[in-house]
Amino acid sequence: MDPSDNNDDDDASIAKRELNGECDHREPDSLNSESIATWQLQEQPRYRLMHEGAEALANAELLAVCLGSGVAGEDAVAMARRLLKQFGGIGALLSAPMTELIKCYGVGSAKASVIKAIQELSLRDLEYELAHTDQFADPASVSRFLRRRMGHEPREAFACLFLNARNQLISFDVLFRGSVDRAHVHAREVLRRGIEVNAVALVLAHNHPSGSPEPSQADIHLTQRLVELLQQVDIRVLDHIVVAAGSCVSFARRGLL
């Protein structure tokens, strides 16, 4: 057999292992973990989920069910605990960029895709609730949605929640992305999109990757400019929310609108 055929086989094997996060240069935290299949049946996360309900499982157990398997020397629950500890919790883990997830031992593109799919499904459910809630009755839900959607972005992004006459969500759009400390916002683009979706009101939002949600003078001036511009076409700015990973600041609550 030609040696190049062997190389092709090796490359295919390596690609398959990397897909599952099994790269040679990364090692698990523990080499002594037994497979979940060897556990007592009543203790296995999938069995407990089916017979006790998902609410009975800890975060690591729920994540393990989604991951499906661990790696050599580390079962899925141990892997899940490691990931939650490494990222500082379920929210930060789900919000982590794909590139960061794949750097973790055991998290290849397949498992990283599952994690990002979980995040997107939870966000779409929350977005659906916002779209069917009259008058934005629960500001906490809006803040929670924005923190999940934008709070862990590594670069600054500017978004709008466009609302109808009942203050129900029509569309959530990230209109601009920038550097780690600035996104260049074109006011006319906000105006154009508002007219395009027939919005009656909107909520402005942008993130601060620095971790502090305190608005800057530039944020305040931009908001004033947008309020004045949108008033010309009868689109009301209800709020501007500055988002960080752990908290938000509302211009409306601060009296800055």
Other Cβ atoms less than 10 A from the Cβ of 177: the count is 13
Please state, in angstroms and rounded to a whole number, the distance separating the CA atoms of residues 207 and 222.
14
Residues in the chain: 257
Please state, in angstroms and rounded to a whole number, the distance separating the CA atoms of residues 47 and 70.
17
Please state, in angstroms and rounded to a whole number, the distance separating the CA atoms of residues 233 and 192.
10
241: amino acid identity, one letter? I
Please state, in angstroms and rounded to a whole number, the distance separating the CA atoms of residues 58 and 64.
10
Which of 34-38, 71-75, 156-160 is predicted with the least confidence, judged by mean pLDDT? 34-38
What Cα–Cα distance (Å) separates residue 232 from each residue in 81, 125, 188, 227?
53, 34, 12, 9
- What tens digit of pLDDT does each residue of 49-75 get? 999 999 999 999 999 999 999 988 899
Is 251:227 a contact under the CB 8 Å cutoff? no
Residue ranges per domain, the chain?
A: 3-122, 135-254
The predicted pLDDT at position 220 comes to 93
- What tens digit of pLDDT does each residue of 180-233 get? 445 578 888 999 999 999 999 999 999 998 888 999 998 999 999 999 999 999
Q: Rounded to 5 degrees, what angle do the CA atoms 241, 247, 253 make?
A: 45
* Positive or negative: CA dihedral 33, 37, 43, 44: positive
56: amino acid identity, one letter? A
| Residue 96 tokens, joined | 């982590």
Please state, in angstroms and rounded to a whole number, the distance separating the CA atoms of residues 169 and 111.
32
Q: Strand, helix or coil at 170?
A: strand
- The matching CATH number, chosen from 3.30.70.2660, 3.40.50.970, 3.40.140.10, 3.40.30.10, for 135-254 is 3.40.140.10
41: amino acid identity, one letter? L
Is 211:244 a contact under the CB 8 Å cutoff? yes
Position of tokens 């037994």?
A: 34
* Positive or negative: CA dihedral 188, 193, 196, 200: negative
Q: What is the pTM of this model?
A: 0.65
Going by pLDDT thresholds of 50, 70 and 90, the confidence category of residue 247 is confident
Q: Strand, helix or coil at 81?
A: helix
